Amino acid sequence: MQSSEAAGARTAAGGLRCRPSVRSIRRAGSALVLSFALVTLAACSKAAQGPVVTVHAASGDAPVTVELALNHEEQARGLMYRTELAEGSGMLFVFDNEAERTFWMSNTPIPLDIIYIRGDGTIVSIASNTTPYSEKQIPSRGAARYVLEVPGGWAARHGVKSGDKLTLPDVARSRQAGD
């Protein structure tokens, strides 16, 4: 005769009571973890899609998926403490007005190209391959409404020069119209 554990406990109706096995619990747990990972991955991929700035250079269009720095706190932090910045990605700083801008590389461990842009989308100047951690002031050398930070050497790799034009994401344009 089998024990009730081996045969399963009988209910009052004579049927077997189902007791989950360790294996079925592990499978359910694994499925739950996998589901959570897939949902997280989907959310991250959507975040990575973000707004796109397109630089129209003589060599062709160069799109950049950007994070937006719209307020003082986001602009003050910028890309500080980032240890990597993928090719084709960057940060777009959107200011309330067009003025001389000065940036620096304090607490920024990766080289960046800093592209200063007028309100009409024209590139004013480019500071190429800026020095990580430098506290040297990097001026715009002209009035700028936007600043685009991309991985160091990006502008040269894409043939981007002062005078080239950009198409800005809707958020940046609508903020400009609201002034």
| Cβ–Cβ under 8 Å, residues 94 and 68 | yes
pTM of the model: 0.71
| pLDDT number for residue 171 | 66
| pLDDT number for residue 43 | 41
Strands 165-167 and 60-69, bridge-based pairing: unpaired
| pLDDT number for residue 9 | 46
| Cβ–Cβ under 8 Å, residues 123 and 166 | yes
User: Which distant-in-sequence residues (6+ apart) come within 8 Å of 4 by Cβ?
Assistant: 10
Measure CA of the first residue to CA of the last residue in the chain; give whole Å. Answer: 86
Please report, in tens digits, the pLDDT of each residue of the chain (179 residues total).
333 444 444 445 555 455 666 665 566 545 444 444 444 444 444 345 789 999 999 999 999 999 999 999 999 999 999 999 999 999 999 999 999 999 999 999 999 999 999 999 999 999 999 999 999 999 999 999 999 999 999 999 999 999 999 999 876 655 544 44
| pLDDT number for residue 39 | 43
| Cβ–Cβ under 8 Å, residues 175 and 94 | yes
